[in-house]
Amino acid sequence: MNKLHIAFAVIVSLSASLWAAKPSNASFPDLVAVKGGAPDQMFMVGIRSLGGMERFIKKGQTVLVKPNIGWNKPPEMGATTSPELVSKIIRMAYEAGAKEVWVFDHSVEPEALSQQTSGIGKAVKDSKGLLFPAENEADYREVKIPKAKLLKQAKVHRRFLDADVVINVPVLKDHAGSGITAGMKNLMGVVWDRRFWHREGLHQCIADFPLLRKVDLTVIDAFRVMFKRGPQGISKDDLREEKIQILSTDMLLADAASARVLGAEPASFKSLKLATEFGYGSIDLDKKKIVRISMPQ
């Protein structure tokens, strides 16, 4: 052996070690579920098991955090995403190197009121996120979804289309129309014309829409779950404090786990069942690698 052989061996070993040290997606769980903490604490714990924010965000990228700001209700009514969870995700996104963190939702009620009452407006401002308006049709772009069965085209908010990374942060609720609102239904808040979905076929449109763009991370806020009379809720009797949070790169899988939290089989919800036909996700919880973390009380 001469110096050339030694140098070659060292280089090959070093490269192999570096390659081995970089985590491959195959080694992460498909779904992480956390129970028993506050929403922001559960996120910190959960995201670590999923590879940390660095797995999803590279330095200098724009990140969209899409919570549910649909209703002019305070956080304790469970109709909107917990503001402290939104705030924590935005802060950790910046820590991971995001250039800008965007937030918006096309609210059902007036957005200024909804942003204020839900506490999310202040949460975004305090964590230096950028909250964008969504009540102007000019902010939406017409896009085509060729593989869709019903939703062949839609006007979609440009911040959803243009962001480098999309983090979907729904609040888990019963829903009068679709049965459940979790990750997939939360995406309805990025389109202009919701009436089209109700008119043409609600479940199929919900299943169609994710074909447009893969959501990088779904975080289901099941801290305070609305079990009946969703999506608005009429009284606190409609809520149960479950203190659960579900994180996954497979939005459909996260929705399947959410269905179980509501006490139902995933396939009993038409939108979930229709979505399995496209192959972008799975509802087979039994076949997936799930990490369950109970936080100390």
Partner 1 sequence: MIRLLRFAVQVVFFVVALLFFLRVLNNEGFREIFTSLHLFPGLIRNHGESAWLWLTVAMLFLPVLAGRLYCSFLCPVGFIQDLVSDISARLKLPRRPAITSLRFPVFSLAACLVLLLADSGFVGYVDHFSHFGRLVDLFRSRFSLSGWLTVLFIISIAVLPFLWPRWFCTVLCPSGALHGLLNQVSFLRFRSKGSCGKCKKCTVNCPTQCIRNGQVDHAFCVTCFECLEGCSRGSFRLAFGPRAGREPFSHGRREFIRIGSAATAGMAFGGTLRVLALSPDVKNVHTVLPPGSLTAGHLFSRCTSCNLCMIACPTHVISPAGLENGLAGFLKPKMNYDRGFCTYECRRCLEVCPTRALHPYPLEEKKRTKMGTAEINEKLCIPFVSPKDCVACAETCPTGAVHVSRHLGVGQPHIKKELCIGCGACQFACPVIPLKAIIVRAERVQGVAAPPEQKSHHGQGHRYRHGRSASEFPF
Contacting residues toward partner 1, per CB under 8 A:
33, 35-36, 72-73, 108-110, 112-113, 117, 174-179, 194-196, 198-199, 201-203, 227-232, 234-235, 237-238, 240, 244, 256-257, 260-264, 270, 285, 290, 292, 294, 297
- Closest contact distance (angstroms) between CB of 237 and partner 1 is 5
Q: Which is nearer to partner 1, 127 or 245 (CB)?
A: 245
Provide, rounded to whole angstroms, the least separation between the CB of residue 240 and partner 1. Answer: 7
Q: How far is the CB of 232 from partner 1 (least distance, A)?
A: 6
Place of tokens 């714990």: 45
Closer CB to partner 1, residue 1 or residue 138?
Answer: 138
Cβ pair 102, 64 in contact under 8 A: yes
Task: List, in order, residues 6 or more apart from 107 with CB less than 8 Å away.
Answer: 69, 70, 71, 72, 114, 115, 134, 135, 189
Calpha distance 135→104 (Å, rounded): 10
CA atoms within 13 A on the CB side of 98: 27
Nearer to partner 1, 97 or 201 (CB): 201
Q: Extract the tokens encoding 226.
A: 């609305």
Smallest distance, partner 1 to C-beta of residue 175, A: 7
Nearer to partner 1, 83 or 129 (CB): 83
Closest contact distance (angstroms) between CB of 159 and partner 1 is 23
Q: Is the distance from CB of 225 to CB of 172 less than 8 angstroms? A: yes
Nearer to partner 1 among residue 81 and residue 258 (C-beta): 258
Nearest-CA neighbor of 201 among 107, 291, 270, 283?
Answer: 270
Nearest-angstrom CA–CA distance, 203 and 142: 21
